[in-house]
Amino acid sequence: MPASNSKDRVTIIGIRQVPHHLSKEVFETKMGALLDAFMALPVCKKNVLKWDLILPMPSSFDASIRAIGFSEPQSHVLAVAECETTDHWAEVFADPEWSRLVMEGEKEFNFCSSSQTFFTDVVTKIEGVESVNPNPVRSVWILKAQSRFSRDEFSDKLGGFVDQLLAMPKAQKTFHKHVMFLPSTMDTSDRGTDTMLRGLGLPVPEPAVVLVTESKSQEDVIELCADQAVKELMKEATAELELHVNSVAFLGNLQSKGNRA
């Protein structure tokens, strides 16, 4: 299946686990308010093109995940943000008001220490059409690479399984959009993207690939996961790549915090 690589945007993924001392609802409220505050800053209005937050929704999807070997997921949220270039991101990160809000977020709900944040290469496997699916349900798959795999090896092997899945008619019917967020291959030198994030106090992330899909309903996704051929492929991928170890999957709703696309 043809895929397109986004070259006109520089994208950052932020994966955050709900801290133990906060309820899911309180955490989501605080996270949403912080992103609203970020996007109100002049430096973000100038530089950030898009910032989306995907929040988990109540569903019976967890049972589908357990059926392929995943453990009961802990609550996570996913943030996806875009600028035109790394220079635009560097300007955002250097802003004193940005730094102040980051510190406040860390004090209130472990904004930095609970985070896995990294620059990504975006590969769109299925291009979404909004008129077909104006209010889609998203499935989020945060798939951690085990230490025996290099970044490229894990991404390539996982990409092969994704291509097999998307070649199935039932998957093509279910997914109206499918995007892979791969760990970025951009420069990680002293002036590079990795150094930018570490300078904010963000921890070094575990290697991971994030998949985000869009479908008409959660029932469609659950029905797809129950398909025997799909289950066998997903079990094979889970066993070969050890996806059940520290990986997370959930269905979610999107909150757009800014979109100048």
Predicted local distance difference test score (pLDDT) of residue 1: 44
pLDDT at 142 exceeding the cut of 90:
yes
Cβ contacts of residue 89 below 8 Å, gap of 6+? 10, 12, 47, 83, 193, 196
Give me the chain's average pLDDT, please: 87
pLDDT tens-digit readout, 1-21: 455 556 678 999 999 988 888
For domain 4-259, which architecture applies? 2-Layer Sandwich (3.30)
pLDDT mean over 225-249:
90
User: Where are the extended beta strands (E) located within 90-225?
Assistant: 115-126, 137-144, 177-183, 208-215
Rounded to 10 degrees, the C-alpha dihedral 169/7/121/12 comes to: -120
Lowest mean pLDDT among 6-15, 31-40, 179-188, 201-210: 179-188
Predicted local distance difference test score (pLDDT) of residue 130: 58
Bridging pattern class, strands 137-144 and 10-17: unpaired
pLDDT tens-digit readout, 119-128: 999 999 998 7
Lowest mean pLDDT among 58-72, 147-161, 223-237: 58-72
* Domain ranges for the chain: 4-259
44 three-state secondary structure: helix
Counting every residue, how long is the chain? Answer: 261
